[in-house]
Amino acid sequence: MLAALRCVIHRDLLLAARRSSDVLTVLLFFVIVVSLFPLGVGPDPALLRTIAPGVIWVAALLASMLALQRMFASDHADGTLEQMLLGATPLGMTVAAKVFAHWVISGLPLVLISPVLALQFDLPQELLGVLALSLALGTPVLSLIGAIGAALTLGLRGGGALLSLLVLPLYVPVLIIGAGAAEAAASSLGGQAQLLLLGGLLVFAAAFAPWAAAVALRISVE
């Protein structure tokens, strides 16, 4: 079974590597959205410092949203998904592997680039680590919850807008806790509580979301 998982992850990463423009689009979207905020609210450093974690988190939310539609779409189009449904590996495990690969492609780059963007917002250096860590714990949760939405909207018309309507309300706790981590660290409360909560959410989502997404996939494909 582990071999099958490794195979799914390897395949998805290889596909992404062969079409690296998809990965770059999401990353560029993230960078551009974050860069738009100072243009919108003005370049006052004090204001930017306050809104930095929130802005970066909201942008990460939207970027991960953008990448979600592709999670199952191409596999659905070429019939691979049906083979996965029929395969001997439990579908939940396959979904978990796909979500992991999806996170490596769409979430991890955001985590890695977030400290640079935070510097643009003049965030103090000791907060960069907390922000990156909160994103590293939070973006997998976004991918996991998003997988359910992506599975439910598979092959529907108006998929993109519908997907955001379904998934964004469910993202709220991650956003609140994730953006709260850096803010709490800034106000000398320490972001530990938020990071622990994010970790808890991650474990919870990792346990249940692939299973729910598998149920949703079966409904969408049958």
Partner 1 sequence: MSIKWFKYSSPQSFFPLAGKLALWFGALALVACGVGLYIGFFVAPTDAQQGEAYRIIFIHVPAAWMSMFLYLVMAFWAGLGLAFNTRLSGMMASAIAPTGALFTFLALWTGSLWGKPTWGTWWVWDARLTSELILLFLYFGFMALQAAIDDPRRADKAGAVLALVGVVNIPIIYFSVKWWNTLHQGASVSLTQAPTMAATMLTGMVVMAFGFWFYSIAAALMRARCIMLERERASEWVADYGRGSA
Q: Which residues bind partner 1 (CB under 8 A)?
A: 145, 148, 152-153, 156-158, 162, 165-166, 168-170, 172-173, 176-177, 180, 183-184, 201, 208, 212, 215-216, 219-220, 222
C-beta closer to partner 1: residue 42 or 158: 158
C-beta closer to partner 1: residue 48 or 154: 154
C-beta closer to partner 1: residue 109 or 191: 191
Nearest 5°: CA angle at 35, between 168 and 130?
Answer: 70
C-beta closer to partner 1: residue 1 or 165: 165
Asked if 65 contacts 164 with a C-beta cutoff of 8 angstroms, the reply is yes
Asked if 27 contacts 66 with a C-beta cutoff of 8 angstroms, the reply is no
C-beta closer to partner 1: residue 30 or 98: 98
Determine whether 83 is exposed, middle or buried from the number of CB atoms within 10 Å of its CB (0-12, 13-18, 19+): exposed
Q: How far is the CB of 192 from partner 1 (least distance, A)?
A: 14
- Cα 48 from Cα 117, distance rounded (Å): 11
- Cα 136 from Cα 178, distance rounded (Å): 10
C-beta closer to partner 1: residue 108 or 166: 166
Q: How far is the CB of 135 from partner 1 (least distance, A)?
A: 17
Phi/psi of residue 89, nearest 5 degrees: -70, 135
Q: How far is the CB of 222 from partner 1 (least distance, A)?
A: 8
The length of the chain, given as a count of residues = 222
- Cα 160 from Cα 118, distance rounded (Å): 28
Q: How far is the CB of 162 from partner 1 (least distance, A)?
A: 5
Q: How far is the CB of 181 from partner 1 (least distance, A)?
A: 11
- Residue 68 falls in which region: left (phi positive, over 0), alpha (psi -120 to 50) or beta: alpha
Q: How far is the CB of 207 from partner 1 (least distance, A)?
A: 12
Max Cα-Cα span within the chain: 57
> Which position has the token pair 């949760």?
141
